[in-house]
Structure 1
């Protein structure tokens, strides 16, 4: 699963870099859509950081413990 997130953050990072260039161009030339471009760039940055975090952290996979038995959870109200 980490390989999928590894590829995802690289692709999202490349698109984020492209968004940064387009946003800088929009601000330098004072385009009407410059603030919309900034919003897209901010969202893509957030997405890229999220994918990067998922690529770095190990996935939460339950480990099997030999000899362990399953149990049933009982919700007791105490009364």
Structure 2
């Protein structure tokens, strides 16, 4: 399996997991974890390898963007000391 096919499958799984989490009123990370475990049992996906560059250039910016949009300023102010010390 090529890495492009693997990225498409992961993207579809994330999209479906987000919709399912919203409908079930469950936290999305719980659904993503369950989906990842289920995808791990698919034999053809076990052999797929994702280059680290793809993770760094595709998934990380999406996660950082979403967190920057949904994080409240109150939470940042509350945790400012820990953020600065880190």
- TM tier relative to shorter chain: 0.3 to 0.5
**Structure with the larger helix share:** 2
Q: Identify the structure with bigger relative contact order (alpha carbons < 8 Å, sequence gap 6+).
A: 1
Q: Kindly name which structure, 1 or 2, has the bigger radius of gyration based on alpha carbons.
A: 1
